[in-house]
């Protein structure tokens, strides 16, 4: 592996101020990015992924474990397991959490094609982590999942069946509320009937848990069947960064995520949403397919003048392609 390949993952080799330990860590993590853990010595040519699932994470090992459990036990009808790769877009998780993930990849599900794309923790750089994961992946179709959202058992199947060139497809996110989140966080591993348990918990607490509009969440938790192979009730609506799918070539038309966004909030989804629309990519929302349950947390402060100015420029100037994205001009 050449040094410039390592640098694309923010792991800089060959610097004089690196210790031997730091250089070794960089090489190990670079290996994580470019070769599946199945285990290290297994031939990566065994996998020819059609579908890439990118999970954005930062130091939340319990939820990441449950997300991976869900992704590794999907009900597949149109895809084979070896046609799927999972890429962890890691925005600088600690060494302890990286070790937990490596244990999962090597010892719990060594048969799965899971890739860990990590860069050092230098503040909020989620967009960089997402582009890093994209560079490390191969699938023709890409699904994005946030690290606090557990997918439905039919999640990948739904997204794969909903895919369409020239369209970015959003799935449905269920806001769990405090009671559901507490139940989920009591699990060490994902129960087989986890989504049924989530729905039952929402119903049980419908009168007492006011943290997430229980009636609306019950409606969101209902997955519709495909009628004669066609989905029901698709509508035009912008994407949610936690749950959307898109063909790689459509994402490359706008050069992926804009890495100038260095604050949480308006950024990775809103900016991408508007640039895709400017490029003529249609936005569709599947209200009763590709479901996931979202961890309850207090509302975050999303205000960022820097982000707001970048987003304003993208809207007003009809920007599509950014140089500070997946493929850097330098």
Q: Say which CATH number the domain at 62 has.
A: 3.90.550.10
Query: Per-residue confidence at 211, pLDDT binned at 50, 70, 90?
Result: low
- 327: in domain: no
pLDDT at 202 over 60: yes
- 169: in domain: yes
- 326: in domain: no
Mean pLDDT taken over the chain: 85
- 321: in domain: no
Q: Are residues 60 and 7 in the same domain?
A: no
Write out pLDDT tens, residues 64-88.
999 999 999 999 999 999 999 999 9
Alpha carbons 43 and 41: distance in angstroms, whole number: 6
Phi and psi dihedrals of 126, rounded to 5? -60, -40
Q: Are residues 145 and 261 in the same domain?
A: yes
**Percent of the chain topping pLDDT 70:** 83
Q: What pLDDT is recorded for position 55?
A: 98
How many Cα atoms sit within 13 Å of 18 on the Cβ side?
13
pLDDT at 21 over 60: no
Query: Per-residue confidence at 302, pLDDT binned at 50, 70, 90?
Result: low
Q: Are residues 99 and 16 in the same domain?
A: no
Token duo for residue 126? 């989620």
pLDDT at 27 over 80: no
Q: Are residues 113 and 243 in the same domain?
A: yes
- Report which of residues 98 and 300 the model is more confident about: 98
Q: Are residues 221 and 183 in the same domain?
A: yes
- Report which of residues 146 and 20 the model is more confident about: 146
Q: What is the total count of domains within the chain?
A: 2
Q: Are residues 181 and 81 in the same domain?
A: yes
Please tell me whether residue 34 adopts helix, strand or coil conformation: helix
- 43: in domain: no
92 in the Ramachandran plot: left (φ > 0), alpha (ψ -120 to 50) or beta?
left
- 257: in domain: yes
- 39: in domain: no
Beta bridge partners of 150: 293
Q: Are residues 200 and 86 in the same domain?
A: yes
pLDDT at 304 over 60: yes
Query: Per-residue confidence at 18, pLDDT binned at 50, 70, 90?
Result: very low
Q: Are residues 2 and 115 in the same domain?
A: no
Q: Are residues 14 and 148 in the same domain?
A: no
- Report which of residues 28 and 321 the model is more confident about: 321
Write out pLDDT tens, residues 105-138.
999 999 999 999 999 999 999 999 999 999 999 9
Query: Per-residue confidence at 208, pLDDT binned at 50, 70, 90?
Result: confident
Q: Are residues 23 and 66 in the same domain?
A: no
Q: Are residues 145 and 172 in the same domain?
A: yes
Q: What pLDDT is recorded for position 295?
A: 94
The structure's pTM equals: 0.86
Query: Per-residue confidence at 177, pLDDT binned at 50, 70, 90?
Result: confident
Contact 116, 98 (CB under 8 A): yes
Range of the domain at 91: 48-316
Q: What pLDDT is recorded for position 46?
A: 61
Q: Are residues 70 and 12 in the same domain?
A: no
* The total number of residues written for the chain in this structure: 330
Write out pLDDT tens, residues 212-251.
677 788 888 999 999 999 999 999 998 888 999 999 999 9
pLDDT at 41 over 70: no
Mean pLDDT score, 52-71: 97
- 208: in domain: yes
């Amino acid at each position: 592996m050449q040094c410039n390949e390592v640098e694309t993952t923010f792991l800089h080799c060959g610097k004089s101020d690196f210790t031997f330990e730091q250089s070794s860590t960089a090489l190990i993590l670079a290996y994580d990015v470019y070769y599946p853990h199945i285990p290290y010595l297994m031939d990566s040519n065994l996998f020819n992924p059609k579908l890439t699932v990118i999970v954005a994470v930062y130091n939340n090992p319990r939820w990441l474990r449950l997300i991976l459990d869900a992704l590794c036990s999907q009900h597949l009808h149109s895809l084979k397991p070896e046609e799927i790769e999972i890429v962890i877009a890691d925005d600088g998780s600690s060494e302890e959490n990286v070790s937990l993930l490596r244990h999962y990849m090597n010892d719990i599900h060594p048969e799965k094609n899971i890739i860990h794309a990590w860069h050092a923790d230098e503040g909020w750089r989620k967009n960089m982590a997402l582009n890093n994961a994209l560079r490390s992946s191969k699938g023709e179709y890409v699904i994005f999942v946030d690290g606090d959202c557990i997918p439905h058992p039919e999640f990948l199947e739904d997204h794969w069946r909903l895919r369409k060139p020239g369209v970015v497809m959003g799935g449905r996110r269920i806001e769990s509320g405090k009671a559901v989140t507490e139940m989920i966080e009591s699990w060490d591993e994902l129960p087989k009937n986890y989504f049924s348990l989530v729905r039952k918990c929402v119903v049980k607490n419908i009168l007492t848990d006011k943290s997430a509009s229980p009636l609306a969440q019950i409606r969101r938790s209902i997955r519709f069947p495909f009628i004669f192979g066609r989905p029901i009730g698709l509508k035009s609506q912008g994407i949610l960064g936690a749950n959307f799918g898109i063909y790689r070539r459509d994402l490359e038309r706008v050069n992926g995520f804009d890495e100038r966004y260095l604050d949480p909030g308006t950024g990775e989804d809103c900016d991408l949403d508007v640039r895709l629309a400017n490029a003529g990519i249609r936005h569709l929302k599947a209200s009763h397919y590709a479901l996931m349950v979202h961890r309850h947390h207090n509302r975050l402060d999303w205000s960022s003048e820097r982000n707001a100015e970048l987003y304003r420029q993208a809207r007003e100037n009809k920007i599509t392609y950014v140089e500070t994205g997946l493929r850097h001009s330098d």
